[in-house]
Structure formats: structure tokens, C-alpha cells
């Protein structure tokens, strides 16, 4: 969609990213990378740019992931149109305004609704619920970003189904009323992994405490990052 040509083939980009992490000596943190049209004349059109550029940065993680329950609000900031919401880009002004709105209301994040009033996502994270029937429910990805962490959580949640802690895992439209009346609510993303939500606007979620499913999913994703299958982890030669 952005019409930016890759400066290298995918395998070389993969090697560059692994080498960047290796050179950083960072063993607990995150790797972020961007593809840009590159340096140029600062005009809107990328035709004035010399060549595409790849940027990568390793961020040292100094704090453990937090499992304390948080408050969220409904965002009044307009959600991005689906064609922009479903792709990762640096067009983050709506996301920033949404997060600022939450902070101004003593909340951690603001939840977007789509044009039909259906639950969409947070400013840079997905949202999920545990229904009264003990099903993990996540909004459809049709009009929002299908987060990597969210998709991994959907897979890991099947372990809780096998253990009888969940009755099922579904991805479908979720109404606000259904979400606010759920047993549990949680935010899911690379920055928070799985963060329990205990209040949405004025509505207390469940019993107002961190839910067992959210806490179990947090433990599963942390363990998956440490010792999950090679299909989801990449060895780094330090």
C-alpha cells in the first residue's frame, strides 16, 4: 500500500535485524524496525527521495510486565479508516491523541469503537474479553490491526481450553454492552503482553479484580517467549 520498495530482500533484512540485536548485547528488550522512503527533499511525494531506508533500534527493557488491573475509557478520537487501521505505519497522531485522552481521564488507555459502534481496539494494542460462558472473545480483525501478540495469545489460549479454564476461543464482533458485562477484559500487545482491565468508563468489569484467564494468558505468553517452539522464536548469536 505504501509502495515502498524493499532496499534488500527479506532474507537479508532478517539477517540485518538479527545482527542488530546481537551487536546490542541486549538479552531482555525489544527490536523495532521501520521501512522508509528514505532521505530526500522533504516533500509529500516519495519521488524526491534517493532510495528506501531501513531503520532498526533495540530497546533495553528495564521493567517487568505489570499484571495490575487498569481502567480504560471509550475514546472520542475518531478511529482510522480500515485501510489505514489494518496496516502498521508511523501515522500515529490518532493513537497519541487517544492515549492522551485516557491519561487526562485517569485511565491507562482508550478503547476505539468502529463506525457501527462495535468494539475495535486500543491505541496500540488489541482487546479481548472472557464471556459469562467462559469463552475468550476477541474482536474481528477486519477493520483493525491483527497484532502479532494477539494472534499468538489466541493460539496459546487453547491450552486453557484443554485445562478446562476456558470453554472456547472466538474471534467475532463484540458490542460495547457485551464487553462491559463480560467476566474479564484485557489489553493485548507487545508493550503490555496481557494486561487485565478492571474498569471500562464507569463500569466495573467482573468482580473488579484481575481475572484468572488474563493472568494465565500472561504467564503463558511470557513462558512462550522464553521457551516456546522454534517456529515463534529466533536464536540470536551473542
Catalytic site residues? Answer: 88
Helix axes 148-162 and 212-227, enclosed angle (nearest 10): 110
Whether residue 60 contacts residue 26, with contact meaning beta carbons closer than 8 Å, is answered with yes
Whether residue 109 contacts residue 187, with contact meaning beta carbons closer than 8 Å, is answered with yes
Closest CA to 126 of 221, 37, 38, 54: 221
- Beta strands 70-74 and 168-171: pairing type? unpaired
Residues 23, 34, 72: CA angle, nearest 5 degrees = 105
Residue 158, SS3 per DSSP: helix
Amino acid at each position: 500500500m505504501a509502495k515502498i520498495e524493499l532496499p534488500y530482500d527479506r532474507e537479508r533484512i532478517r539477517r540485518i535485524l538479527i545482527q542488530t540485536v546481537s551487536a546490542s548485547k541486549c538479552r531482555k528488550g525489544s527490536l523495532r524496525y521501520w521501512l522508509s522512503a528514505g532521505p530526500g527533499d522533504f516533500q509529500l511525494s516519495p519521488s524526491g527521495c534517493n532510495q528506501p531506508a531501513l531503520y532498526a533500534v533495540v530497546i533495553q527493557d528495564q521493567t517487568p510486565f505489570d499484571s495490575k488491573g487498569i481502567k480504560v475509557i471509550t475514546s472520542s478520537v475518531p478511529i482510522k479508516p480500515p485501510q489505514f487501521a489494518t496496516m502498521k505505519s508511523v501515522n500515529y497522531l490518532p493513537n497519541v491523541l487517544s492515549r492522551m485522552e485516557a491519561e487526562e481521564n485517569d485511565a491507562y488507555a482508550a478503547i476505539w469503537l468502529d463506525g457501527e459502534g462495535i468494539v475495535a481496539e486500543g491505541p496500540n494494542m488489541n482487546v479481548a474479553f472472557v464471556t459469562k460462558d467462559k469463552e475468550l472473545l476477541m474482536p474481528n480483525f477486519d477493520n483493525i490491526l491483527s497484532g502479532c501478540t494477539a494472534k499468538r495469545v489466541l493460539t496459546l489460549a487453547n491450552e486453557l481450553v484443554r485445562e478446562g479454564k476456558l470453554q472456547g476461543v472466538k474471534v467475532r464482533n463484540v458490542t460495547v454492552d457485551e464487553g462491559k458485562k463480560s467476566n474479564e477484559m484485557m489489553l493485548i500487545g507487545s508493550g503490555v503482553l496481557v494486561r487485565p482491565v478492571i474498569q471500562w468508563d464507569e463500569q466495573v468489569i467482573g468482580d473488579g479484580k484481575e481475572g484468572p484467564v488474563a493472568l494465565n494468558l500472561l504467564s503463558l505468553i511470557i513462558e512462550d517467549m522464553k521457551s516456546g517452539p522454534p517456529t515463534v522464536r529466533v536464536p540470536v548469536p551473542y
